[in-house]
Amino acid sequence: MSQGNGSVRFSGVGTSASSKESLRVAFDYFKANASRISAISKAGDHNYHIHVVELHNSGPSDSLTLTAVIALASALMKKHVQAQIVVLGSMSLGGNIIPAENLAESMRVALDSGAKRILIPSSSVSDIQTIPGELFAKFQTSFYADPIDAVFKAMGVE
């Protein structure tokens, strides 16, 4: 993030149109809702650069929207996302939360990657019964209802 006019640049997504679209949706949502994130800093006063790093060689993701909103908010607020946290789920163009797919498997991957905290969309609560108890107990678990709620919980601001 640097002083500027509210533009965004993406790198690390290659030629994936769906990944770029996901990041564009995130940036548009972020700009439209930045006043709910910070009353002090203005999103339009900065330029942003989002660099995506793929850690598991699974190919480009089109589920970057929510994580990009969290990253942009983190930059705007100058506050780090909590260490060892994984945010499951995604969001639509209008900011509706999309439940996490295959919750138990996603939590197993998060655990294997070193996560200690996990944020789960409230819309995935009915899937909790599919998670083995010993796996669920390994995390400090929180639930979020909307993208802004996920932003604050990811940064440890309740």
The three-state secondary structure class of 28 is helix
Amino acid at 28: D
User: What's the mean per-residue pLDDT of the chain?
Assistant: 88
Report the distance separating Cα 90 and Cα 81, nearest Å.
17
| Position 16 confidence tier, pLDDT thresholds 50, 70, 90 | confident
- Kindly state the percentage of the chain with pLDDT values over 90: 62
Q: Do β-strands 46-51 and 117-121 pair in parallel, antiparallel, or remain unpaired?
A: unpaired
Output DSSP code: residue 136.
H
Output DSSP code: residue 51.
E
pLDDT at 155 over 70: yes
Instruction: Write the CB contacts of 41 (distance below 8 Å, at least 6 apart in sequence).
Output: 34, 76, 77, 78
Q: Which residue has the higher pLDDT, 5 or 75?
A: 75
pLDDT at 55 over 70: no
Task: Name the pTM for this structure.
Answer: 0.88
* CATH 3.40.50.1360 for the 2-154 domain, yes or no: no
Q: What is the pLDDT of residues 76-108, one digit of tens each?
A: 999 999 999 999 999 998 899 999 989 999 999
Q: Average the pLDDT over each of 32-36, 38-42, 108-112, 153-157 and give the range with the smallest value.
A: 38-42
Q: Which residue has the higher pLDDT, 76 or 40?
A: 76
Q: Residue 87 burial by CB count (10 A; 0-12/13-18/19+): exposed, middle or buried? A: buried
Q: What is the pLDDT of residue 61?
A: 63
pLDDT at 62 over 70: no
Q: What is the pLDDT of residues 115-146, one digit of tens each?
A: 999 999 999 999 999 999 999 999 999 999 99
Average pLDDT (39-65) is 76
DSSP-H helix ranges across the chain: 17-37, 65-77, 103-112, 133-136, 147-154
